[in-house]
Amino acid sequence: MTDAAPAQPDPNQPPLVINGQYVKDLSFEVPGAPEIYSEMQGQNPSIPIHVDINARSLQGNTFEVVLHLKVDAQFEDNRPVFLVELAYGGIFTLNVAPEHVQPMLLIECPRLLFPFARTIIADATRDGGFPPLMIQPIDFVQLFRSRMEAAQGEAQGTA
Q: What is the CATH number of the domain that holds 98?
A: 3.10.420.10
Residue 53 placed within a domain: yes
CB neighbourhood size of 70 (10 A): 15
Number of structural domains in the chain: 1
Residue 97 placed within a domain: yes
CA quadruple 57, 63, 64, 69: dihedral sign: positive
pTM surpassing 0.75? yes
pLDDT of residue 44: 86
Residue 62 placed within a domain: yes
Query: Could you list the residue range(s) of the whole structural domain that residue 59 is in?
Result: 16-158
Residue 24 placed within a domain: yes
Phi, psi of 81 (to 5 degrees): -100, -60
Residue 21 placed within a domain: yes
Phi, psi of 45 (to 5 degrees): -75, 160
Residue 3 placed within a domain: no
Residue 10 placed within a domain: no
Q: pLDDT tens for the chain, 159 residues: list them.
A: 544 444 577 777 899 999 999 999 999 999 999 999 888 877 889 999 999 999 999 999 999 999 999 999 999 888 899 999 999 999 999 999 999 999 999 999 999 999 999 999 999 999 999 999 999 999 999 999 998 888 888 877 766
